Amino acid sequence: MGTKINVRNPRTGKIDDSITPPTLEQLTEECNRLREAQIDWQQIGLEKRIEAMQAWKQALLSQQDQLIKAIVTDTGRLSESLTEFNSVISSIDRWCQLAPELLSELEAKSTAIPFIELQQESIPYQLVGVISPWNFPLLLSLIDTIPALLAGCSVIVKPSEITPRFIKPLRATIASVPKLCDVLAYIEGAGNTGAALIESVDLVCFTGSVATGRKVAEAAAKCFIPAFLELGGKDPAIVLSSTDLELATSAILWGSVVNAGQSCLSIERIYVAESIFEDFIEKLVAKAKCLDLAYPSLEEGQIGPIIAQRQAEIIAAHLKEAVEKGAIIHCGGKVEQLDGGWWCRPTVLTQVNHAMQVMRAETFGPIMPVMSFATIKEAIKLANDTIYGLSAAVFAGSEAEAIAVATNIDAGAISINDAGLTAMIHEAEKSSFKFSGMGGSRMGAAALKRFMRKKAFLIKQESIPDPWWFKS
């Protein structure tokens, strides 16, 4: 910690920035400051917290050009950066609207014992730690932060060291809101700073890979604090013979290659009924070929660069192994370097199987490996043959037919006749299955309650001996 870290530009490949993480003493001091301020933040009540969040929204809107510019430099892509910013703004409004009902005081209740009354109180965790990845740097650093702040917690956020440029303009917006800057802090740093942060907080929200998630879970267990983990995926799409192929190919293409496939909920495996396989491939390939790289200009095309150098290496390795084992490339197919950045065109592969990494491990690139299936039972077996269980998609001629298949898929959210809907629909509560995560749903209104502890007051109403006491 405390040592300078270089930052690479995803479009040029050049090291053109750096961050300096806090020392352990600085981190401890920051956490002490946030803890102290949390007491007042909790006591001022929800109405004042909503006021502060709304003031912050205005500050974000007034600084939106600087913020978006920084996210664009961090990620090398434009339209997804605008989407990130807009999502954060609507998320502040959504949580401000939902919070009053979610945090309303519960009424006193009678219990099964007539002379004992129950009153309940919800108490926010004092300091929440958020550790976030590089694929949607702004959005994923705030997705848990906003509800935690409204719940009355202080929050300390450590975004990815790969995309840290947005932190500076974001800090300026936080600094402009007096109450908020007391209870919200962003720190720069890599894995060791994240590890130190876990030891300083009362609850940790982590978004990232399964490998790091495991370390975070172990560290949180040692500290005896709750850990909410949102990890990787290898989402399958199943396409039944009754499907509208025009719709399915457009949805799957978007679900696989938006953000150049660098989304946890990207469609990474496609299983298509034998009878429609050829037609499906023909349509998918034709549509994939219509998409262009956002190169040389940011405003062109739809496919941005591969943001992290190490991800470009993983995508290239998965493609190489698949081809060596017999896969056929129909379009795209290589990770190329243009002006120092790494790029990959939408790639459709057939003749793939589950012995290949491209069907088993998270590729996190615009790669669409497609297999055919003979029976629905076989499709479900293939979809579930994975360590992941984040989300999935099922396409069929009727909702009932699709849901009959979706019921059997081990994943927390299934889009029916569409793809990637969990990114768009905030009302749906979902659990991560298998290694894709741990802890209560981040989506849905109940997500805010993850930041509260419950306290029960059990109140005796009458001056009588309890029947279970020792008889005198």
Catalytic residues: 230, 264
Determine how many CB atoms are found less than 10 A away from the CB of residue 85.
Answer: 18
**Phi-psi domain of 261 (left: phi exceeds 0; alpha: psi -120 through 50; beta: other):** left
Nearest approach, Cβ of residue 429 and ligand NAD (Å): 14
Q: How far apart are the C-alpha atoms of 153 and 125, rounded to whole Å? A: 6
Nearest approach, Cβ of residue 71 and ligand NAD (Å): 15
Q: Which is nearer to ligand NAD, 402 or 443 (CB)?
A: 443
Residues between 241 and 270 that touch ligand NAD (CB under 6 A): 264
Give the contacts of 183 (CB within 8 A, at least 6 positions apart). 34, 37, 38, 41, 149, 153, 154, 155
Nearest approach, Cβ of residue 187 and ligand NAD (Å): 11
Sole window of 82-90, 207-215, 331-339, 375-383 interacting with ligand NAD (rule: CB under 6 A): 207-215
As a whole number of angstroms, the longest Cα–Cα distance in the chain is 89
Interhelix angle 376-384/399-406, rounded to 10 degrees, is 50
Sole window of 53-61, 202-210, 299-307, 395-403 interacting with ligand NAD (rule: CB under 6 A): 202-210
Residues between 442 and 471 that touch ligand NAD (CB under 6 A): none
Answer for which of 129, 137, 226, 232 binds ligand NAD (CB under 6 A) is 232
Q: How far apart are the C-alpha atoms of 300 and 151, rounded to whole Å? A: 42
Token pair for 92: 């502040």
Nearest approach, Cβ of residue 193 and ligand NAD (Å): 7
Q: Which residue is nearest to ligand NAD (CB)?
A: 194
Residues between 383 and 422 that touch ligand NAD (CB under 6 A): 390
Contact predicate 63/169, CB 8 Å: yes
Q: Which is nearer to ligand NAD, 180 or 413 (CB)?
A: 413
Q: With CB under 6 A, what is the number of residues at the site for ligand NAD? A: 28
Contact predicate 77/173, CB 8 Å: no
Q: Which is nearer to ligand NAD, 198 or 252 (CB)?
A: 198
Nearest approach, Cβ of residue 387 and ligand NAD (Å): 12
Token pair for 332: 């795209």
Is 164 one of the binding residues for ligand NAD (CB under 6 A)? no
Q: Which is nearer to ligand NAD, 161 or 182 (CB)?
A: 161
Q: Which is nearer to ligand NAD, 230 or 401 (CB)?
A: 230
Residues between 342 and 371 that touch ligand NAD (CB under 6 A): 362, 364
Q: Which is nearer to ligand NAD, 268 or 401 (CB)?
A: 268
Contact predicate 45/161, CB 8 Å: no
Q: Which is nearer to ligand NAD, 77 or 158 (CB)?
A: 158
Distances (CA, A) of 89 to 60, 99, 331: 8, 16, 37
Is 209 one of the binding residues for ligand NAD (CB under 6 A)? yes
Token pair for 298: 């940011």
Answer for which of 94, 215, 320, 434 binds ligand NAD (CB under 6 A) is 215
Nearest approach, Cβ of residue 267 and ligand NAD (Å): 13
Is 230 one of the binding residues for ligand NAD (CB under 6 A)? yes
Residues between 7 and 36 that touch ligand NAD (CB under 6 A): none
Give the contacts of 103 (CB within 8 A, at least 6 positions apart). 46, 122, 150, 151, 448, 452
Q: How far apart are the C-alpha atoms of 167 and 34, rounded to whole Å? A: 18
Token pair for 464: 């009588």
What sign results for the dihedral spanned by CA atoms 194, 441, 151, 118?
A: negative
Nearest approach, Cβ of residue 214 and ligand NAD (Å): 9
Q: How far apart are the C-alpha atoms of 226 and 128, rounded to whole Å? A: 10
Residues between 125 and 154 that touch ligand NAD (CB under 6 A): 131-135, 140
Tell me how far apart the terminal alpha carbons of the chain are, to the nearest angstrom.
64
Is 236 one of the binding residues for ligand NAD (CB under 6 A)? no
Answer for which of 212, 243, 347, 363 binds ligand NAD (CB under 6 A) is 212
Nearest to 20 by CA among 167, 126, 129, 132: 167
Token pair for 147: 């509800």
Residues between 172 and 201 that touch ligand NAD (CB under 6 A): 190-191, 194-195
Q: Report CA dihedral (427, 428, 434, 436) to the nearest 10 degrees.
A: -40
Nearest approach, Cβ of residue 135 and ligand NAD (Å): 5
Answer for which of 231, 344, 392, 409 binds ligand NAD (CB under 6 A) is 231
Sole window of 77-85, 95-103, 206-214, 279-287 interacting with ligand NAD (rule: CB under 6 A): 206-214
Site of interaction with ligand NAD (CB under 6 A): 131-135, 140, 158, 160-161, 190-191, 194-195, 207-209, 212, 215-216, 230-233, 264, 362, 364, 390, 437
